[in-house]
Amino acid sequence: MDEISNLFVIAIALLVLASMWKIFQKAGRKGWEAIIPIYNLFVIQKIINKPWWWVLLMFIPYIGMIWAIWSTNLLAKSFGKNEGFTLGLVFLPFIFYPMLAFSNATYTNPRNKNENDLHNDEVEVEEVTE
């Protein structure tokens, strides 16, 4: 029975790793970057357009969970998903990471979106002469 449960855990881990590989590729990164521990966290920060030092904050006991969940939320939003999907990624990663990876969700670069939003919010002021 232990062998079957071990195989099940390994299969789930491989499914999540394959999903992360595909998510990284969708974001324009190399898939292998997803399977290297710690380094993949730095790459995720690049994907979600956050500074590298957020990874350091993730290693602070208890408080680090805030940055890890926040990063997960921004990753979901980078693919057009909402906070409900983020909860799925956090609590049921073996279901929601494959959904994100193998669905038609497309990556929208947060940096480009922010730049476009800034340009759209600018208001031109015309000078009135009398």
User: What's the whole-number mean pLDDT along residues 30-47?
Assistant: 96
Identify the helix (H) or strand (E) that includes residue 9.
Answer: helix 2-26
Question: Residue 122: what pLDDT?
Answer: 43
* Confidence bin at 112 (pLDDT 50/70/90): low
- Give the model's pLDDT for residue 114: 47
Q: What is the DSSP string of the chain?
A: -HHHHHHHHHHHHHHHHHHHHHHHHHTTS-GGGGGSTTHHHHHHHHHTT--TTHHHHHTSTTTHHHHHHHHHHHHHHHTT--HHHHHHHHH-HHHHHHHHHHSS-----HHHHHHHHHHHH----PPP--
Q: What is the mean pLDDT of residues 103-121?
A: 66
- Structure confidence at residue 129 (pLDDT): 60
Is pTM beyond 0.85? Reply is no
Q: Where are the domains of the chain?
A: 2-120
Q: pLDDT confidence of 117, banded at 50, 70, 90?
A: very low
